[in-house]
Amino acid sequence: MIMKKSSFRILQTFGIVLLFTVLIGCSNEATTDENQPADTDEGTLDERMAVTIMTTAFAPEPVDSSSPALQAIEEYTNMDIDFQFVVNANYDERFNVTLGSGNLPHIMLANKTPSFINAARDGAFWDITDYIDDYENLSQANEIVSNNVSIDGRIYGVYRGRPLGRHAVTINKEWLENVGLQTPKTIDDFYEVLRAFTYDDPNQSGQDDTYGMVVSEYEGPWDIMQVWFGVPNGWGYDDNGELLPDFMFDEYRDALHFFKKLYDEGLVNEDFAVMDSATWFDPIVNGSAGVVIDVADQANRLQNQITEGYTNDEITLDVFGAVEGPQGLRTKPTAGYSGILAISTTAVKTEEELRRVLQFLNDLNDEEVQNLAYNGVEGVHHEILDGELVLTSQQEGGELFDREVRDLNQIVAHIPGEKFMRMPQTNLQQKATKVMEENLDIVIGNPAEPLISPTYAERGQQLDNIINDARIKFIVGQIDESGLDEAVELWKRSGGDDYIAEINEAYSAIQ
């Protein structure tokens, strides 16, 4: 049974109000008006409110008002919800068109793009920084993610949370056993595993047909590994408290020398710089590489590919978070969010309405609503059999699930976390979940994430390419230390010095 949230609030605030009318002298002037609203605004939270939400859609048919799952969410939150679903591929374009029209919905999913940043600064969206602590769920937002979504130190929407500690290492467990090694704990251990996977016949084929780790043109694995060495995540503080980019720290050079050693000794694929990321995982699945660094949940997907489509039935994968470096266990987090649920100041005109919408966004994180948004209504879209979830509406093509449930989860923020029931998980999925939870204790935030640099907005791609290209060239031996120095100087001349100055100026302004 769905219990209205408003029912609980009514019970909490209900009181008896006695109205006395006093007639003074012979005056016949009216002193009351039966249509006059009460002086208190507490009752507003108990009134049904209509809210329009613009967000992304992935299902072939968008959820409409006939969905019993949507109706149950409306009943629980005491809101009439009008969705404006936009196909994900076209969303940014539609966002900008809607923003330019001035006719904004109450809530719209926003990405942290220049157009959203400028609109927030211009007052198009509510600054909710000073409000979110008043709400049970929203007040538990992660500090690193809140910092990541902020603009000039202020928060202009409720982030849609994603696992912050998601980065991890997938490793061939059978190979570890074959070479007599354990899951690596330190950087030195990690090197030894990659060496053994390359030279100690880990697949026991008697041939030279394996190597340690597969890397593609996607630079993510290098970014993750360098944090193990103590390199800041994006930006860090120098001895004077000034913010500098990661490549200006000594630890960055230490990491690069390690990467070059892996390359020189053949412990990573020689073609990594030009390897299409679409084929990145093939060497893990076909049994020619033993390690890949990506996200924790990738391990189970790769295990499924091995089981379903290949003859390498003996390959069993495992997953772990990070290895210990000079500064202990550290890992690079993801951004921790996918879009921001921003509240329009034109559609939501008063602070009273704002608080009603924030209560709605708060309530969407309750366990009951999360289950409705992800699994639908029990007996209609799913069953609970022997304590386990069975998504019956996903059977026979899943049209019912797509039409009535699928895109409802686009408005769930997962703050403080995911509470919905899942279908039975494999051991590897359970391990990945545990790794992501443990990683929360070792993630390293980026202090410059909320800071805006006009120079970077204009030349960011050019600046990034200078450093990324130099890193690759150093790893493969095309340049040496002096070449790195030259690349840094080029970066500075190309706008990097202005970038650093603007970041530090922006940082000082919000302290």
Please state, in angstroms and rounded to a whole number, the distance separating the CA atoms of residues 474 and 496: 20
Q: For residue range 63-106, list pLDDT tens digits in order.
A: 999 999 999 999 999 999 999 999 998 999 999 999 999 999 99
Please state, in angstroms and rounded to a whole number, the distance separating the CA atoms of residues 365 and 362: 6
Whether 321 contacts 299, CB under 8 Å? no
Residues in the chain: 511
Please state, in angstroms and rounded to a whole number, the distance separating the CA atoms of residues 388 and 421: 9
Q: For residue range 327-338, list pLDDT tens digits in order.
A: 999 999 999 999
Token code pair at residue 399: 């049209």
Task: Please give the pLDDT value at position 44.
Answer: 52
What Å distances lie between residue 122 and 234, 303, 344, CA to CA? 28, 49, 12
Which class is 167-332+425-450 in CATH? Answer: alpha beta
Q: Identify which of 160, 152, 158 has the alpha carbon closest to the alpha carbon of residue 118.
A: 152
Token code pair at residue 236: 């860090």
Residue type, 346: T
Task: Please give the pLDDT value at position 313.
Answer: 55
The proportion of the chain whose per-residue pLDDT surpasses 70, expressed as a percent, equals: 90
Residue type, 304: N
What stretch of H or E contains 220?
helix 220-228
Q: Identify which of 184, 175, 112, 120 has the alpha carbon closest to the alpha carbon of residue 148.
A: 112
Burial call 38-69: b when 16+ CB within 10 Å, e when fewer: eeeeeeebbeebebbbbbbbebeebbeeebeb
Task: Please give the pLDDT value at position 312.
Answer: 54
Specify the CATH number for 48-163+337-411; select among 3.40.30.10, 3.40.50.10260, 3.40.190.10, 1.20.1250.20.
3.40.190.10
Please state, in angstroms and rounded to a whole number, the distance separating the CA atoms of residues 286 and 311: 8
Task: Please give the pLDDT value at position 19.
Answer: 31
Sheet holding 167-172, edge to edge: 211-213, 289-295, 167-172, 317-320
Mean pLDDT over each residue of the chain, to the nearest integer:
90
How would you class 97 by CB atoms within 10 Å of its CB: exposed for 0-12, middle for 13-18, buried for 19 or more? exposed
Q: 352 Cβ partners below 8 Å, 6+ apart?
A: 41, 44
Low-confidence ranges of the chain (pLDDT < 50): 1-43
Whether 156 contacts 112, CB under 8 Å? no
Task: Please give the pLDDT value at position 61.
Answer: 86
